[in-house]
Amino acid sequence: MVPPNWLLITLRIIDMLRDRNTAIGEDEIYSYDYTLKKSRAASIPKLLTKYGLPTNLGLSKEGVTVRGAPGLRMFRDIQGGEVLRECTSQQRESWILEAVQEIRLEIMKLVGQKPVVLPSNVFEHSAKFVPALLDAVTNRSNGRVEQALVGAKLQLRFPNSNVAINTGFAGDRQTGRECDYEVGNIRVVVSVSPSQGHFDSAKLLAEEGREVFLIVSERAYSSARKRVKDDGCLGPVTVQTISDYVTSNMKETSVQLGIDSAQTCLKLVAEYNRRIAAEADHSLGVVLPGDNAS
């Protein structure tokens, strides 16, 4: 297994090569004590996000925590990018993206080794847990965590109903279903980035007199709400973010179950884990407080 610091150092060097057509001098990328420049807390999360990589490596919030010797050897081997001097722009970009892909594979091995571990205080309340989990799986959920969270919330809210377990986003995979979840007259459509089909389904269900919820990511919320409003469906169709939908009604759920908010949160986590277990990637499960992550 490649150490996380080495992966971050290599990605930083390759990214710097991508931004120019000439070789890089050592003093441009390393400080006097061979600390890699732009490799601290403010830079690394942005770099990982730029390439669509998970930011929850256990290092991204601090940045690179070692000196850059491992990367320096590689940097000198490729002569600061001089080996690419004869390449066309297209060849250079292809080489760099191929290198990024190799780093991606190693990073996914790293994050796939263990389930999600969160600070113990986030389990005090669902309103803390849900945002923390969504942040921890940034760029590696692919909708699977969001789907499991929504299903878990519905199962807790309606314990006498058998709420379906969907892997990934059922609606996105063209399963033929009009929605992801149905409980009584409620219909829930879940999508991080809703497509035309999601809006059409929501509108059709509303016209049938259903109580419709379109659940989307924070990033998609404003545009999705505007789209539903423009379609004349705002009201019959409620647009909410994943976090807002999952954490709503939790006080009522606690009263209904006769437990406090912390116990309700733990029940939500347990139900989430039951649902996410249907996925092939078991690293998306959450370690409960006191459990052994190994």
pLDDT given at position 203: 94
pLDDT given at position 174: 43
Residue 25's H or E segment, with its range, is: none
pLDDT given at position 171: 42
CA distances from residue 251 to 237, 248, 262 in whole angstroms, order as listed: 23, 8, 11
pLDDT given at position 176: 56
Alpha-carbon dihedral angle through residues 86, 91, 92, 98, given to the nearest 10 degrees: -140
DSSP state letters, 129-167:
HHHHHHHHTTTT-TTHHHHHHHHHHHHHHSTTS-----S
Q: Which residues of 188-219 are buried (b: 16+ CB within 10 A; e: fewer)?
A: bbbbbebeeebbebbbebbeeebebbbbbbee
Q: Which residues of the chain have pLDDT under 70?
A: 1-2, 41, 52, 55-70, 111-113, 168-177, 280-282, 290-294
Task: Give 82's contacts (C-beta < 8 A, 6+ positions apart).
Answer: 23
CA distances from residue 32 to 26, 35, 79, 124 in whole angstroms, order as listed: 10, 7, 19, 46
What's the one-letter identity of residue 134?
A: L
With contact defined as beta carbons under 8 Å apart, do 178 and 187 qualify?
yes
With contact defined as beta carbons under 8 Å apart, do 153 and 268 qualify?
yes
Task: Give 209's contacts (C-beta < 8 A, 6+ positions apart).
Answer: 185
